[in-house]
Amino acid sequence: MGRRATFDAAQVVTDARDVFWHRGFDGASLPELEAATGLSRSSIYHAFTSKRGLFDAAVQDYLDTVVAPRLALLRTDDGLDAYFASMDVELENLDAEAPRRGCLLVNTAAGSAAHDDTLAAVVDAYRRRLTDAVTDALVNRGDDDPENRARILVTMSSGALLQARVDRDEARAIIASARKLARSWES
């Protein structure tokens, strides 16, 4: 009978997620993942079958802990404003000394997903989920062109999250523009 894992799998996934978020799937090396998680290469492979298995677990953790709470804001009475306000606060609170991460899934779209159909499908599912949530928020307030306007707002938020990696102030300006645009469409 094999030995049982003596590590906190959820913490390992969170620690790995932070490496992937900063470095991307392709940029994250096994030595970096070993250092961040405290696990040896063989333990990572035993627990997650591969670097990709660990990445998949990290993406699911990101969807559960970062994306889901933000999307929940869109279901509130003033969902769009709350959503963009939360993004602005998050961008404002970025530590200037810390790595600027943006969005794990937007970063993946700009990197590995271009040559990995499985990752592309995950990123596309996220985009659809976000677009649907923004569309619903627009419909709930009586918008007359919710699908097209949702695409515009999702593109702006994705662009802001990508821009956050290099210029936090510009990312915040994009979010402010999206928020202002959404307000201008109110019935």
SS3 letters for 104-141? HHHHHHHCHHHHCHHHHHHHHHHHHHHHHHHHHHHHHC
CA 156, chain centre distance (Å): 14
Architecture, CATH, for domain 7-61:
Orthogonal Bundle (1.10)
Which CATH class for the 74-187 domain?
mainly alpha
Quote the CA–CA distance of 93 and 27 in Å, as a whole number: 25
Q: How far apart are CA 117 and CA 66, in angstroms?
A: 23
For the entire predicted model, the pTM comes to 0.87
The model's pLDDT over 130-176, given as tens digits with 9 standing for 90+, comes to 999 999 999 999 999 999 999 999 999 999 999 988 888 999 999 99
pLDDT band for 93, please (50, 70, 90 cuts). confident
The 3-state DSSP class for residue 31 equals helix
The pLDDT value given to residue 138 = 96
| Residue 90 · residue 55 · CB < 8 Å | no
Joined tokens for residue 44: 């990572």
Domain boundaries, the chain: 7-61, 74-187
